[in-house]
Chain A
């Protein structure tokens, strides 16, 4: 390709990234702005950060979301890893069928997923509850865990397991001493994805959270409906930094970009 065309691509790319990041940078800058409503002139302050950690109504919602997402991610990791492990024993046909069903919670709009689950829970007399919210979120994060762990299985060399079995190790011993270390990066990445997706899943929590209970996404939704909130800028800045840290960590584990979202699990991972 000629030089001029590549220069055009680079300029376009730069503009695209500017479009994506200017709003985020504005939030970060505004979180240090003392003037009300994010207006000029800019006055440096740390006030919003201290407000966030002392008085803000965002703090309890954040803590609730952290605890809840941890519980969901933990469960999803256990169940999802078991599933990926079990799928190793399935016939290709059966594995494919399960894989298709697994895609369902992430391909249908979460609005429909949330609504249909709410109706079922209502019918069962459970309705909006922590249990319901837990169920709704776990089904939406489970596919990510299974995909990422499956990807590790696809890459792994399976002969050491056979060797261990021949040498007399029991199935549990083989799993924890041989299989487990091979798939740990997938489990960690799956856990992180599950946590982050659950932490941010507004739609499901909006429909299934118990009345009066506000997780962070629900709280943020009601807050920004009413307009500008300076302490939200501070929280957003912290969340973006934490996300960045998570991405760097995932990168170290060998997961970059598309491998986190490739739903076919055929590629394993593509290191850059």
Chain B
């Protein structure tokens, strides 16, 4: 776990080192904001995954939405459960 966490830190420092100087030189404010938010979200998700905190799976939500339609259509096509 220690190595994984340090890997994430090194990787994020690398990403910041590669992209931020360019964004600042060009004076892109909004780009820098979106970049920071995406990076923060990415780091947060990776850290939570590494320390084994269960994350919500978006496919669960998609399944919840589409399961009734799927059941209906496949019953129409004569599928056995």
Co-assembled chains A and B: no
A residues at B contact (CB < 8 Å): none
